[in-house]
């Protein structure tokens, strides 16, 4: 099989599975639906591993069109693939995590009437993400970009009879459209100024000559072309990768089933922005202003979204805010030109965050769809596999030495410490403080769920959890079936070891050579990092005396004291800091501001256009007004139509006299 055919197979196999399950699910049944979709994703995963292995062993990269579907004004709009180390790594991450989610879904959704539909959606989601990461041009990138947004709308609102789910998917859709509008404007700037091509290679080749070019967005005011283009492109990433202030959709996306929470938050949609900026590194390296904007945005997201994770009681929302914070860390790495570190953290985060989400789903199943951590406790005895894998995922998340998250997270902190770009001081404070915050909320969740008093025995569950489909009373917790625990075990392995294996080749080796461009003279962070790096083992050993480790340990110990040994302390702090708690519970009032300004403002503007524009101007003045004018004119004219010949003869004589008078007046005037 030639490589182009293999790439097509990798991309289209999930689409084929999605189409069969979606269109013929009613005919083939539940088992066949999950077999065909899992089979399609498995084919893609195996193919992705094969492609990555080939590239690591010297296979050439591929950059070429597959199908040209439109040519306008000499510009080709085509489907094309760029297969290099970055793409291949993303393909492996997307397909492997998606495969685990597919298997997990068999157990999690087995009672749901929309079983076949759900499998169709998640396979379509995988196809959309593959088209995004495999693209070699902006048009295909935008297609994949919008496709993941569309399918996320369908998945977040999967339980469409719930008002909360309807609200959540509409919110996600609208907020992402804000970011996507900026992204589309950025692509428009590329098309207008970068040589009239939308192929990555052509755009990147043209970029250095345009580094000093300016444009006038506002007449008389000069703006750097590169800065404007990069910031517009990054606004797209702010929406898709949920960066402040376009992050508000992501916590509400928890209204979807847990498997899709794992898929959206771990390996697909939210990482698209991080991937896009890394792919566009030849552009972003030409604008320090854009990099500083990215750095500050990521810093705010990393720190302040972590604070919100501290006060959450819904187990899925804790992990959701953790995702927001970790996306902030990745964005910070992009801002200091440490693109390989951002991608490295994207990869490690995909595994341990998918593990944590699926672990949370397993807990929800074991607790008979209870999601409030205050009603759990002591589950370690009843769910040993879920407990152990969740512990490993939490240790990876907080950056425990030798775990996957440690190598990527500490690399980000070191890169920020080495940077001198404007905003790096604030960024360093944010990522350092975020270490304590992450450790605290992660192990707050862990201790409340798996240790301490068995609080579920004292709670009568007459309400429904978010993922519930039926009523329930008090139940004994139980371990999940093997189709749920197997993905947990398989995801736990890379969550522990992948960082140790990949840190050296990805950050100081040649893995991204010729793929990611960094101006080492202007932004020497990665060069300094490589100089300081000795080995994965040495990095892990040195960490035990570092500030991040001490802060992480402090967060764990604080959570242990607060929620196992002295639970009265957090209650007292909450009572003393009521204003701060209220601020956090209201999520910094951003939702209220958006509703008051944009939602109500849009409705008010719509009402104005409706009442003034439509009812008064169009219907009132133009349509009804013109009809009334014609009617009034007709009423006057009607009185002149007498039906008598002498009346018409008189009118003709008067008209003739008037014409003759005008004619003679003209002659006299000459």
- Residue-wise DSSP of 21-35: HHHHHHHHHHHHHHH
**Alpha carbon of 111 to those of 30, 105, 107, 472, 612: distances in Å?**
11, 11, 9, 15, 52
Mean pLDDT, to the nearest integer, of 538-552? 91
Does position 472 have pLDDT exceeding 70, yes or no? no
Residues 6 or more apart in contact with residue 405 via CB below 8 angstroms: 345, 348, 349, 352, 395, 396, 397, 398, 399, 495, 499
Does position 422 have pLDDT exceeding 70, yes or no? yes
Report yes or no: 246 and 270 within 8 Å, Cβ to Cβ.
no
Cα–Cα distance between 180 and 182 in angstroms, integer?
Answer: 5
Cα–Cα distance between 354 and 389 in angstroms, integer?
Answer: 11
Q: How confident is the model at residue 552 (pLDDT cuts 50, 70, 90)?
A: very high
User: What is the pLDDT, as a whole number, of residue 594?
Assistant: 85
Does position 578 have pLDDT exceeding 50, yes or no? yes
Report yes or no: 277 and 294 within 8 Å, Cβ to Cβ.
yes
User: What value does the CA radius of gyration of the chain take, rounded to a whole number of Å?
Assistant: 31
Cα–Cα distance between 23 and 547 in angstroms, integer?
Answer: 55
| Least-confidence region, from 213-222, 245-254, 472-481 | 472-481
Q: What percent of the chain has pLDDT over 70?
A: 97
Express each pLDDT in 223-250 by its tens digit. Answer: 899 999 999 999 999 988 889 888 888 8
Structure tokens belonging to residue 292:
């500083």
Which of the residue ranges 112-116, 158-162, 228-232, 639-643 has the most confident prediction, judged by mean pLDDT?
Answer: 228-232
Cα–Cα distance between 83 and 89 in angstroms, integer?
Answer: 10
Predicted TM-score of the model (pTM): 0.87
With residue 184 as reference, give the H or E element that holds it.
helix 163-193
User: What is the pLDDT, as a whole number, of residue 670?
Assistant: 66
Q: How confident is the model at residue 9 (pLDDT cuts 50, 70, 90)?
A: very high
Does position 586 have pLDDT exceeding 50, yes or no? yes
**CA angle centred on 234, ends 338 and 505, rounded to 5°:** 25
User: What is the pLDDT, as a whole number, of residue 370?
Assistant: 83
Express each pLDDT in 46-100 by its tens digit. Answer: 999 999 999 998 889 998 888 887 777 777 778 889 999 999 999 999 999 999 9
**Alpha carbon of 20 to those of 27, 28, 298, 473, 586: distances in Å?**
10, 9, 40, 38, 43
Phi, psi for 69 (deg, rounded to 5): -105, -10
Q: Nearest-CA neighbor of 91 among 147, 144, 46, 136?
A: 46
Cα–Cα distance between 334 and 341 in angstroms, integer?
Answer: 8
User: What is the pLDDT, as a whole number, of residue 268?
Assistant: 72
Residue 408, CB half-sphere, CA atoms under 13 Å: how many?
A: 35
User: What is the pLDDT, as a whole number, of residue 112?
Assistant: 83
Pairing of strands 75-83, 223-224: unpaired
């Amino acid at each position: 099989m030639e490589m182009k055919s293999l790439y097509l197979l990798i991309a289209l196999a999930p689409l084929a599975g999605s189409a069969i399950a979606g269109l013929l699910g009613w005919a083939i049944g539940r088992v066949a639906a999950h077999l065909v979709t899992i089979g399609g994703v498995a084919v893609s995963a195996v193919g992705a591993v094969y492609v990555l292995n080939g590239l690591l062993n010297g296979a050439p990269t591929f950059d070429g069109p597959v199908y040209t579907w439109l040519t306008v004004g000499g510009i080709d709009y085509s489907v094309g693939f760029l297969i290099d180390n970055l793409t291949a790594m993303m393909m492996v991450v997307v397909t492997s995590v998606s495969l685990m989610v597919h298997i997990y879904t068999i157990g999690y959704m087995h009672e749901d009437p929309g079983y076949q539909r759900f499998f169709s959606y998640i396979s379509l989601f995988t196809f959309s993400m593959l088209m995004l990461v495999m693209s070699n041009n902006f048009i295909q990138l935008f297609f994949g970009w919008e496709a993941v947004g569309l399918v996320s709308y369908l998945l977040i609102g999967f339980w469409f009879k719930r008002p909360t789910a309807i609200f959540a998917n509409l919110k996600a859709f609208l907020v992402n459209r804000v970011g996507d509008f900026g992204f589309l404007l950025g692509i428009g700037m590329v098309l207008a100024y970068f040589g009239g091509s939308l192929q990555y290679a052509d755009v990147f080749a043209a970029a250095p000559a345009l580094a000093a070019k300016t444009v006038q967005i506002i007449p008389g005011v000069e703006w750097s072309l590169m800065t404007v283009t990069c910031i517009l492109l990054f606004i797209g990433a702010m929406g898709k990768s949920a960066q402040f202030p376009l992050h508000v959709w992501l916590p509400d996306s928890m209204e979807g089933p847990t498997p899709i929470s794992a898929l959206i938050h771990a390996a697909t949609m939210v990482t698209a922005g991080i991937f896009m900026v890394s792919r566009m590194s030849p552009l972003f390296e030409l604008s320090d202003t854009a990099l500083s904007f990215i750095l500050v945005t990521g810093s705010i997201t990393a720190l302040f979204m972590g604070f919100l994770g501290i006060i959450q009681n819904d187990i899925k929302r804790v992990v959701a805010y953790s995702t927001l914070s970790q996306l902030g860390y990745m964005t910070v790495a992009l801002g200091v030109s440490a693109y390989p570190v951002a991608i490295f953290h994207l990869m490690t985060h995909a595994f341990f965050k998918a593990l944590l989400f699926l672990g949370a789903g397993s807990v929800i199943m074991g607790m008979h769809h209870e999601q409030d951590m205050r009603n759990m406790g002591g589950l370690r005895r009843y769910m040993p596999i879920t407990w152990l894998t969740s512990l490993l995922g939490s240790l990876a998340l907080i950056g425990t030495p030798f775990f996957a998250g440690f190598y990527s997270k500490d690399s980000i902190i070191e890169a920020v410490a080495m940077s001198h770009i404007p905003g790096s001081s604030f960024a360093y404070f944010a990522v350092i403080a975020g270490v304590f915050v992450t450790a605290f909320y992660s192990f707050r969740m862990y201790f409340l769920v798996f240790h301490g008093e068995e609080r579920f025995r004292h709670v009568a569950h007459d309400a429904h959890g978010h993922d519930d489909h039926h009523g329930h009373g008090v139940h004994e917790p139980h371990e999940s079936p093997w189709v749920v625990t197997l993905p947990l075990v398989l995801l736990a392995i890379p969550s522990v070891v992948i960082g140790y294996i990949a840190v050296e080749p990805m950050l100081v080796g040649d893995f991204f050579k010729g793929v990611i461009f960094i101006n080492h003279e202007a932004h020497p962070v990665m060069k300094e990092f490589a100089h300081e790096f000795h080995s994965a083992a040495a990095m892990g050993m040195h960490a035990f005396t570092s500030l991040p480790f001490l802060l992480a340990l402090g967060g764990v110990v604080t959570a242990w004291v607060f929620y196992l040994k002295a639970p009265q302390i957090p209650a007292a702090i909450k009572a003393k800091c009521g204003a701060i708690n209220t601020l956090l519970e209201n999520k910094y009032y951003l939702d209220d501001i958006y509703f008051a300004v944009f939602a109500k403002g849009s409705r008010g503007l719509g009402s104005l256009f409706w009442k003034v524009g439509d009812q008064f101007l169009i219907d009132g003045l133009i349509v009804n007004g013109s009809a009334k004018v014609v009617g009034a004119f007709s009423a006057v004219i009607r009185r002149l139509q007498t039906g008598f010949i002498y009346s018409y003869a008189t009118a003709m004589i008067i008209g003739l006299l008037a014409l003759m008078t005008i004619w003679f007046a003209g002659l006299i005037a000459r």
